């Protein structure tokens, strides 16, 4: 059985959605879906807000109950029948994200066992056939095939294997 | 640079020491070092205490400030010069251990970056040349060479590459 490793933020969890939600709360400025998907969040906001926004991720509530990326629930459920699925997230950068991420996975993907959840940093430590991730930096030393999941911050990245949404993941693997 | 993955409990952290400490606190029964290193802890205690003891690991304080396994600090510091070192622990089984483990590593191994810490379950996900671990089950599907670190619970395990202490790890790798 081939093994697929799947990242969390911007692949199955909508962290940018949380940034947008808190930015509206704090500065009363709202962005459209179109804006959020076509430009990096840091290029959308007022330059003088950048330092303030950067600290959001260190707040205990930031990673709690994030929205789910559309299609991920259904497609991963089907992938799970034919592949070994591991969730592999660079969570060690933000220790405050560890427990919210455990809870989020239990809520949204209860059939993914604790044995198949990996919190790491450098993803070259992952032994899998495929890695679906929004950061090309994780592919550089990865042992398998990196599959770039489109996010606003990687639109200009040059990578030969790219999927734009979960429907395209389904088409690639099933 | 070759990569060594190193487990935590019973390899660098003395979790059995915590069991013994709490067992003495709760039942006023103490074991010698000799007893602790020659018999499984569950075979030392009174049979009627087994269920009670099993719950220790779910207590928030269990993984806090564990003692360090002698020699690990000095040998890992030297290994770090010649190998890529990753700490790979099956911490996902006990979510209450996640934050204490992050803190413990920061206290005892401050030079090990967050990028090189991995909390996982099934260690076949680890891509490394060597895995130093006290559980042979992790070696079954491991991509590299498993190195069994002796602990009281694995004395009778049959595994061809075994080290009895950190001095023997030094001799093997340096």
Cα–Cα distance measured from residue A123 to residue B73, given in angstroms and rounded to the nearest whole number: 25
Question: What phi, psi does A114 have (nearest 5°)?
Answer: -60, -25
Q: Are B117 and B102 in contact (CB under 8 A)?
A: yes
Domain CATH number, residue A169: 3.40.50.1000
Mark whether A116 and A38 lie in a shared domain.
no
Distances (CA, A) of B137 to A60, A120, B159, B172: 36, 21, 11, 22
The pLDDT, as a whole number, for residue A9 is 98
Per-residue pLDDT, B71: 98
Q: Considering only the beta carbons, identify the residue of B90, B92, B127 that sits closest to A143.
A: B127
Q: Are B127 and A122 a contacting pair at CB < 8 A?
A: no
B16/B35 Cα distance (integer angstroms): 12
Most B CBs within 10 Å, among A125, A129, A139, to test the B interface: A125
Residues of chain B found within 8 Å of residue A116, distances taken between Cβ atoms = 121-122, 125
A-chain CB neighbours of B3 within 8 Å are 125
pLDDT at A160: 97
- Residue A38 and residue A26 share a domain: yes
Do residues A13 and A68 touch, judged by C-beta distance below 8 A? Answer: yes
Give the model's pLDDT for residue B153: 97
Whether residue B71 sits in one domain with residue B21: no
pTM: 0.97
> Which pLDDT score is estimated for A159?
98
Task: Pick the residue from chain A with its C-alpha nearest to B84.
Answer: A125
Residues A28 and A107 in one domain: no
Domain count, chain A: 2
Residues B107 and B79 occupy one common structural domain: yes
Residues A22 and A85 in one domain: no
B114 touches chain A (CB under 8 A): yes
pLDDT digit of tens for each residue in chain B (174 aa)? 999 999 999 999 999 999 999 999 999 999 999 999 999 999 999 999 999 999 999 999 999 999 999 999 999 999 999 999 999 999 999 999 999 999 999 999 999 999 999 999 999 999 999 999 999 999 999 999 999 999 999 999 999 999 999 999 999 999
- What pLDDT is attached to residue B172? 98
- What is the model's pLDDT at position A98? 98
Chain A residues touching B92 at Cβ < 8 A: 102, 114-115, 117-119
Same domain, A89 and A164: yes
Q: Which of chain A's residues have a Cβ under 8 Å away from the Cβ of B90? A: 115
Label residue A4 by pLDDT band (50, 70, 90). very high
Q: Supply the residues of B annotated as catalytic.
A: 7, 9
Same domain membership, residue A113 and residue A71? yes
Percent of chain A scoring above 70 in pLDDT: 100
pLDDT interval class at A1 (50, 70, 90): very high
Query: A137 — contact with chain B (CB < 8 Å)?
Result: no
Q: Are residues A49 and A132 in the same domain?
A: no
Q: Is B127 on the interface with A (CB under 8 A)?
A: yes
Outline where DSSP puts E strands in B31-129.
84-89, 117-119
A88 vs B27: CA distance, rounded Å: 41
Q: What pLDDT, on a 0 to 100 scale, did the predictor assign at position A79?
A: 98
State whether A41 and A109 are in the same domain: no
Residue of B nearest to A4 (CA): B125
Q: Which of B125, B131, B138 is the best residue to mutate to test the A interface, defined by the most A CB atoms within 10 Å of its own CB?
A: B125
Integer angstrom CA distances of residue A73 from A14, A45, A107, A149, B136: 13, 30, 11, 15, 34
Which structural domain, as residue segments, surrounds residue B131?
3-14+67-173
pLDDT digits (tens, 9 = 90+) for A105-145: 999 999 999 999 999 999 999 999 999 999 999 999 999 99
Domain shared by B54 and B83, yes or no? no
Q: In this structure, are A135 and A51 located in the same domain?
A: no
**Do the Cβ atoms of B115 and A121 come within 8 Å?**
yes
Residue with tokens 């790890």: B169
Q: Which of residues 30-69 of B touch A (CB under 8 A)?
A: none
- B117 to chain A: nearest residue by CA? A120
Helix residue ranges, H only, chain A: 15-27, 33-38, 41-44, 50-54, 72-82, 98-108, 166-173
């Amino acid at each position: 059985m081939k093994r697929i490793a799947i990242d969390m933020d911007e692949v199955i969890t909508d962290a940018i959605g949380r940034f947008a939600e808190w930015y509206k709360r704090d500065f009363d400025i709202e962005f459209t879906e179109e804006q959020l998907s076509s430009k990096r969040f840091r290029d959308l906001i007022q330059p003088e807000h950048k330092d303030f926004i950067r600290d959001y991720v260190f707040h205990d509530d930031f990673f709690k109950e994030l929205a789910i990326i559309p299609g991920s629930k259904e497609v991963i459920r089907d992938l799970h029948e034919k592949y070994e699925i591991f969730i592999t997230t660079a969570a060690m950068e933000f220790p405050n994200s560890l427990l919210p991420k455990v809870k989020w996975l239990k809520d949204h993907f209860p059939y993914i066992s604790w044995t198949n959840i990996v919190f790491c940093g450098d993803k070259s430590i992952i032994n899998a056939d495929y890695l679906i991730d929004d950061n090309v930096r994780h592919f550089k030393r990865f042992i398998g095939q990196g599959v770039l999941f489109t996010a606003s911050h990687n639109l200009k990245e040059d990578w030969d294997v790219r999927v734009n949404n979960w429907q395209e993941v389904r088409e690639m693997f099933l």
